A = this chain, B = another copy of it.
Amino acid sequence: MNEADFIAALRALPLHSAARGLADDCAVLMVGGETLVLTHDMMVEGTHFREGADMADVAWKLVTTNLSDLAAKGAEPVGVLLGHMLGSDDALFIKGLHEALRAFATPLLGGDTVAGKGLRCFGLTAIGRASHTQVPSRSGAAAGEGVWITGPVGRAMLGFEGASDHLAAFNRPVPRLAEGRALAPHVTAMMDISDGLLLDAWRMADASGVTFALDPVAIPVADPARADDCMRWGDDYELLFTAPADTALPVPAHRIGTVTARGEAPLQLGSTMLRASDRLGYRHG
């Protein structure tokens, strides 16, 4: 099974209504009048980080990629559960974990520590409290609305390639928690751009049953000479969202396109129709 087959098989299991049909990045669970947002991401050596990667960076990224999912829901972090496989550089892992928890005022709730013989594997469950209900999903974009992103894409790509100005963007991403909370009451759909702008925009448009017509010139990219790569690379963790076109946004953002009724394809980049999501960005599996 590949990832898509596996997720399709999971959809046939008993799902909680909070799971949103496994079509979103988080579960949204009502508990005693409050709304919790739950997400779990794994990071595996050789897939999500290179062998020999700085374990402080790995721990930072494990925390912040999960918090980025909370940000896209306008949620504030309550705490995290850590799944940790022991190995080399565990003191560095603790250091990076501490830095991330402190930076985003997120305490540790618990977890599990295990021994393992192979490549390292870590998991993190982040729990947040929604600051605004209805909690944004991927599927609420409607024709006539605008499409925005909170910042440029491609910085993580340049950092991965070794550009010193952008190393932090790759190794130490910053979840847009404050922006997500400020935007949540205004947006009709929101997600973080973890797998690349074009792929994530395609997915949001597809989930919403509309077309996103993006203006390539309006998309802020870290390296204009490689605009296409910047739009396809992931790991940037800016927020992608839609809102009525005349919305007075509470935070700075870049208008990159317009939502239209569903046309030939979920995504249109300039005059190019992007029918399939293959090769638009990063895919696990």
Complex: chain B residue closest to A125, CB-CB:
B125
Is the Cβ of A38 less than 8 Å from the Cβ of B109? yes
Assembly CA distance A284 to B6 (angstroms): 30
Is the Cβ of A114 less than 8 Å from the Cβ of B79? no
**A224 located at the interface, meaning its Cβ lies under 8 Å from any Cβ of chain B in the complex:** no
Interface residues of A in 207-250 (CB under 8 A from B): none
Q: Which of A95-103, A259-267, A272-280 is near enough to bind chain B?
A: A95-103
Q: Across the interface, which residues of B come within 8 angstroms of A106, CB to CB?
A: 14
Is the Cβ of A110 less than 8 Å from the Cβ of B46? no
User: What's the nearest-Cβ distance from chain B to residue A46, in Å?
Assistant: 5
**A253 located at the interface, meaning its Cβ lies under 8 Å from any Cβ of chain B in the complex:** no
Known A-B contacts A40-B123, A40-B125; the reply to A22 vs B115 at CB < 8 A is no
Q: Which of A45, A85, A129 has the largest count of B CB atoms less than 10 A from its CB?
A: A85
Count of chain copies: 2
Known A-B contacts A16-B108, A44-B121, A91-B9; the reply to A115 vs B284 at CB < 8 A is yes
Complex: chain B residue closest to A81, CB-CB:
B40
Complex: chain B residue closest to A95, CB-CB:
B9
User: What's the nearest-Cβ distance from chain B to residue A232, in Å?
Assistant: 19
**A3 located at the interface, meaning its Cβ lies under 8 Å from any Cβ of chain B in the complex:** yes
Q: Across the interface, which residues of B come within 8 angstroms of A34, CB to CB?
A: 31-32
Q: Across the interface, which residues of B come within 8 angstroms of A2, CB to CB?
A: 86
**A26 located at the interface, meaning its Cβ lies under 8 Å from any Cβ of chain B in the complex:** yes
Assembly CA distance A101 to B194 (angstroms): 30
Assembly CA distance A39 to B6 (angstroms): 24
**A254 located at the interface, meaning its Cβ lies under 8 Å from any Cβ of chain B in the complex:** no
Interface string of A106-144 (1 = CB under 8 A from B): 111111111111110101010101000000000000000
**A94 located at the interface, meaning its Cβ lies under 8 Å from any Cβ of chain B in the complex:** yes
**A184 located at the interface, meaning its Cβ lies under 8 Å from any Cβ of chain B in the complex:** no
**A161 located at the interface, meaning its Cβ lies under 8 Å from any Cβ of chain B in the complex:** no
Is the Cβ of B113 less than 8 Å from the Cβ of A16? no
Q: What would be 18 A-B contacts, judged by CB atoms less than 8 Å apart?
A: A1-B86, A9-B91, A10-B82, A10-B94, A10-B108, A13-B97, A13-B98, A14-B101, A15-B107, A16-B107, A32-B33, A40-B81, A40-B112, A42-B112, A46-B118, A81-B125, A114-B285, A119-B119
Assembly CA distance A111 to B40 (angstroms): 5
User: What's the nearest-Cβ distance from chain B to residue A25, in Å?
Assistant: 8
Q: Across the interface, which residues of B come within 8 angstroms of A116, CB to CB?
A: 44, 46-47, 119, 121
Complex: chain B residue closest to A283, CB-CB:
B115
Assembly CA distance A15 to B46 (angstroms): 30
Is the Cβ of A118 less than 8 Å from the Cβ of B119? yes
User: What's the nearest-Cβ distance from chain B to residue A60, in Å?
Assistant: 13
